[in-house]
């Protein structure tokens, strides 16, 4: 009560005492260097000692590190990621008002902080995972930690972190296999029952916060920024303070050796929202960037398609009701609502519109392209000045986009092949082999520098500034490579005051949808079973979103069944009657 200084991290005045006698903030768990003074009976007569300081624990270990916990590591990762998002232009309120509250709620739900531990609860600490290949074997390693019973002390909130600090004396014997205090406890089997924090889940946290503030960043863009290095994810532990030693089991938690997967981050985000018992998210309205009409406009520009297609995408969105607020808004825990992938949904709408107008059966779109090419040759001046632009040629568009797509795909493959998975900061799995690792690392760096000088290799250029568009097309180009202003009049006809496609036919990707919960997909996609034009369009949007074409194919099938629901019902009834 006598310590009234504000916390340097959160500016709160809410102090408690650790077992070592140091003050810690109950709000953010920041531990200070200040200790509670001991009442000395030599100067005060007829009085007794009220509190006795147990003495400082060994803050610094033999290797110069300090005690730290896994949740602190993930908190630093989230801090670095949200700061990177702020640098990209995200509103600053997302860090303190949204993401911070989500993180505190998660710590409370998982009983890592902001909770009381029942008195007399016994916690059994299991042995370190024997099967882990990341940890070197050592005959001196203890196989089982002692049983520890804990109880509340002097009204302080006892958290899992304070529990870990109380067992630090036992942890010291296993510290060579885990730089953190609770690294081995974190990997216990019973931890899997809770939504255990992982590196992909940090991105789920970020996307959840972005979705709450309705920022114009989709999940595919977020993951692309991660791959391009604009958001810390790979080797992010290099930004940890010097005293937070990372070794042993900590590497299994924080060391990432693969790129984040769209489906995993997306599913974890929904699990997290339900786990935190979050309320209904702010509405996704027509003016919001995540609305299909807005995203379709963006992807039409990036795919170099005519602007007139946007009217058709809006008609499809309105026809099947996927632009409604209740359909788009996230309601955590509501199993009756479908999980919406905003970017994938918009791409699928464009694919359906292209099928409606061009059929994409490897025949009809080429016939339309020949017709448009002849009209453009015969009436170039008329088309340019009186019809609003030349007729859209599918064949020419295919050639231009395919060339750019192949170039960008080759660049992406080369960057992935050249990516250095090993971090600059050397890692070691035990203190025993630390010297060997440091020597080997220094030797490798010296050899790389020497070979670089001999070969005259060029230093890696700085990464370009992030952009929402991977493929850019300018209407100012005179080579005719931009198709934004091209006209669709060659494939449309006016009927009853509305423009309709000249072709009345349409082919469905599948007649009956699969059970998504059982097989994971609404429909199965095999390239050999579909026309090459359809596969090319899926491949284009697959590259733009950095996901598998099968996920876009699923959304296309869902949209088709909503669009042609009445005709499909009649067909199924007719087939049933014929069977009878």
Per-residue pLDDT of 322-359, as tens digits, reads 999 999 999 998 887 889 999 999 999 999 999 999 99
Mean pLDDT, range 168-172, rounded to an integer? 40
Tokens in use for 89?
Answer: 């232009």
CA distance 577 to 580: 5
Higher pLDDT, 429 or 84: 84
The whole-model pTM stands at 0.76
Nearest to 67 by CA among 138, 157, 162: 162
Q: Where are the alpha helices (DSSP H) in 63-195?
A: 70-87, 93, 100-109, 160-166, 168-171, 183-186
CB 167 within 8 A of CB 125: yes
pLDDT digits (tens, 9 = 90+) for 210-227: 999 999 999 999 999 999
Percent of the chain whose predicted confidence (pLDDT) is above 70: 71
**What is the tens place of the pLDDT at every residue in 116-144?**
753 223 333 333 333 333 333 333 322 22
Predicted local confidence at residue 63, as pLDDT: 53
Distance CA 525, CA 547 (A): 14
In tens, the pLDDT along 525-566 reads 888 889 999 999 999 999 999 999 999 999 999 999 999 876
> DSSP assignment of 190-210, as one string?
GGGGS----HHHHHHHHHHHH
pLDDT digits (tens, 9 = 90+) for 301-327: 999 999 999 999 999 999 999 999 999
Q: Give the long-range contacts of residues 493-499, CB within 8 A, separation 24 or more.
A: none
What pLDDT does 355 receive? Answer: 95
Alpha carbons 57 and 320: distance in angstroms, whole number: 65
| Integer CA distances (angstroms), 443 to 223, 421, 438, in order | 34, 18, 9
């Amino acid at each position: 009560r006598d310590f009234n200084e504000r916390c340097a991290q959160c500016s709160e005045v809410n102090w408690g005492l650790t077992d070592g006698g140091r003050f810690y903030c109950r709000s953010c768990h920041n531990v200070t260097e200040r200790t509670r003074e001991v009442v000395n009976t030599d100067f005060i007569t007829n009085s007794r000692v009220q509190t006795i300081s147990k003495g400082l624990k060994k803050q610094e270990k033999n290797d110069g590190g300090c005690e730290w916990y896994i949740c602190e590591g993930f908190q630093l990762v989230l801090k670095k990621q949200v700061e990177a998002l702020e640098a990209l232009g995200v509103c600053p309120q997302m860090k303190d008002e949204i993401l911070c509250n989500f993180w505190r709620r998660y710590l409370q739900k998982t009983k890592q902080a902001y909770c009381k531990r029942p008195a007399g609860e016994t916690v059994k600490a299991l042995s370190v995972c024997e099967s882990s290949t990341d940890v070197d074997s050592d005959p001196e390693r203890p196989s089982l930690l002692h049983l520890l019973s804990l109880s509340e002390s002097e009204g302080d909130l006892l958290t899992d972190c304070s529990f870990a600090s109380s067992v630090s004396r036992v942890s010291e014997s296993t510290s060579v296999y885990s730089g953190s205090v609770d690294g081995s406890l974190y990997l216990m089997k019973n931890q899997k029952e809770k939504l255990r924090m992982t590196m992909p889940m940090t991105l789920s946290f970020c996307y959840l916060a972005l979705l709450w503030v309705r920022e114009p960043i989709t999940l595919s863009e977020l993951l692309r920024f991660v791959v391009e290095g604009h958001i810390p994810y790979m080797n992010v532990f290099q930004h940890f303070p010097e005293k937070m030693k990372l070794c042993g089991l900590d590497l299994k938690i924080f060391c990432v050796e693969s790129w984040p997967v769209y489906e995993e981050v997306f599913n974890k985000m929904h699990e997290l929202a339900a786990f935190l018992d979050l309320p209904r998210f702010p509405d996704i309205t027509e003016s919001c960037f995540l609305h299909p009409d807005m995203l379709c406009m963006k992807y039409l520009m990036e795919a170099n398609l005519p602007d007139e297609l946007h009217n058709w995408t809006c008609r499809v969105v309105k026809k099947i009701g996927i632009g409604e607020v209740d359909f788009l808004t996230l309601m955590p825990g509501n199993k009756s609502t479908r999980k919406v992938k905003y970017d994938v949904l918009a791409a699928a709408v464009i694919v359906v519109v292209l099928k409606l107008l061009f059929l994409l059966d490897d025949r009809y779109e080429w016939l339309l392209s020949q017709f448009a090419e002849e009209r453009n040759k015969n009436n170039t001046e008329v088309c340019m000045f009186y019809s609003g632009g030349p007729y859209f040629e599918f064949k020419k568009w295919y050639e231009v986009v395919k060339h750019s797509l192949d170039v960008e795909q080759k660049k992406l493959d080369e960057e992935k092949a050249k990516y250095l998975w090993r971090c600059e900061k050397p890692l070691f799995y035990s203190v025993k082999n630390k010297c060997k690792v440091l020597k080997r690392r220094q030797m490798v760096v010296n050899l790389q520098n020497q070979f670089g000088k001999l070969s005259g290799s060029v230093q890696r250029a700085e990464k370009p500034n992030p952009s929402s568009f991977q493929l850019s097309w300018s209407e100012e180009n005179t080579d005719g490579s931009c198709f934004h202003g091209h006209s669709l009049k060659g494939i449309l006809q006016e009927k009853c005051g509305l423009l309709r496609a000249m072709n009345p036919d349409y082919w469905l990707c599948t007649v009956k949808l699969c059970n998504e919960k059982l097989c994971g997909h609404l429909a199965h996609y095999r390239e050999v079973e579909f026309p090459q034009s359809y596969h090319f369009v899926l491949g284009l949007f697959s590259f733009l979103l950095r996901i598998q074409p099968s996920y876009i194919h699923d959304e296309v099938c869902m949209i088709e069944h909503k669009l042609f629901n009445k005709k499909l019902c009649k067909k199924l009834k007719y087939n049933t009657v014929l069977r009878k």
